[in-house]
Chains A and B, each alone.
Chain A
Amino acid sequence: MKTEDLIAELAAAPAAAPPTTLERRAALGVGLGVLVTLALFLWALGPRPGLAAALADPVVAAKTVLPLVLGGMALVLALRAARPGVPGGALARVVWAVPVAVAGLVLWAFAATPPEARMAAFIGHSIAVCLPAVVILSLPIYAGLVAALRSGAPVRPALSGALAGLAAGGIACGIYSTFCVEDTPLFYGVWYSLAVCLATGLGAVIGARALRW
Chain B
Amino acid sequence: MSDRNDRWGDLLRRANRGDGAAYAAFLTECAPVIRNIVRARSGGGDEVEDVVQEVLLAIHAKRHTWREADPVTPWLYAIARYKTVDLWRRRKGGTPVPIEDVAEVLPDERSGEVMAARDLAGMLDRIDARSAGIVRAVGIEGESAGEVGARLGMSEGAVRVAYHRAMQRLKEMAADETGRTG
Known pairs A7-B27, A10-B27, A85-B70; A1 contacts B164 (CB<8 A):
yes
| B56–A3 touching, CB < 8 Å | yes
Among candidates B24, B61, B71, residue contacting A85 with C-beta atoms closer than 8 Å: B71
| B56–A7 touching, CB < 8 Å | yes
Complex: chain B residue closest to A154, CB-CB: B82
In the assembled complex, the Cα of A155 lies from the Cα of B85 at a distance in Å of 10
Contacts of A11 on B, CB cut-off 8 Å? 15, 20-21, 23-24, 27
Residue A90 at the chain B interface, CB threshold 8 Å: no
Contacts of A155 on B, CB cut-off 8 Å? 78-79, 81-82
| B66–A83 touching, CB < 8 Å | yes
Known A-B contacts: A84-B66, A213-B62. Give 19 more (CB < 8 A): A6-B164, A7-B24, A7-B28, A9-B160, A10-B27, A10-B161, A13-B60, A15-B17, A17-B64, A18-B64, A83-B66, A83-B67, A83-B75, A84-B76, A84-B82, A85-B78, A86-B74, A153-B62, A155-B81
| A9–B157 touching, CB < 8 Å | yes
In the assembled complex, the Cα of A11 lies from the Cα of B71 at a distance in Å of 21
Residue B65 at the chain A interface, CB threshold 8 Å: yes
Contacts of A170 on B, CB cut-off 8 Å? none
| A152–B65 touching, CB < 8 Å | yes
Complex: chain A residue closest to B167, CB-CB: A1
Main secondary structure of the interface of A (DSSP, over half): loop
In the assembled complex, the Cα of A19 lies from the Cα of B157 at a distance in Å of 23
| B24–A13 touching, CB < 8 Å | no
1/0 per residue, CB under 8 A from B, across A79-121: the answer is 0001111100000000000000000000000000000000000
| A82–B161 touching, CB < 8 Å | no
- CB contacts under 8 Å to B, within A1-30, are 1, 3-4, 6-19, 21-22
Number of A-B contacts (CB under 8 A): 106
Contacts of A9 on B, CB cut-off 8 Å? 156-158, 160-161
Complex: chain B residue closest to A4, CB-CB: B28
| B75–A13 touching, CB < 8 Å | no
| B65–A84 touching, CB < 8 Å | yes
Known pairs A3-B56, A9-B157, A153-B79; A84 contacts B74 (CB<8 A):
yes
Residue A212 at the chain B interface, CB threshold 8 Å: yes
Residue B18 at the chain A interface, CB threshold 8 Å: yes
| B49–A3 touching, CB < 8 Å | yes
In the assembled complex, the Cα of A65 lies from the Cα of B125 at a distance in Å of 50
What's the minimum C-beta distance from B146 to chain A, rounded to whole angstroms? Answer: 12
Contacts of B68 on A, CB cut-off 8 Å? 19
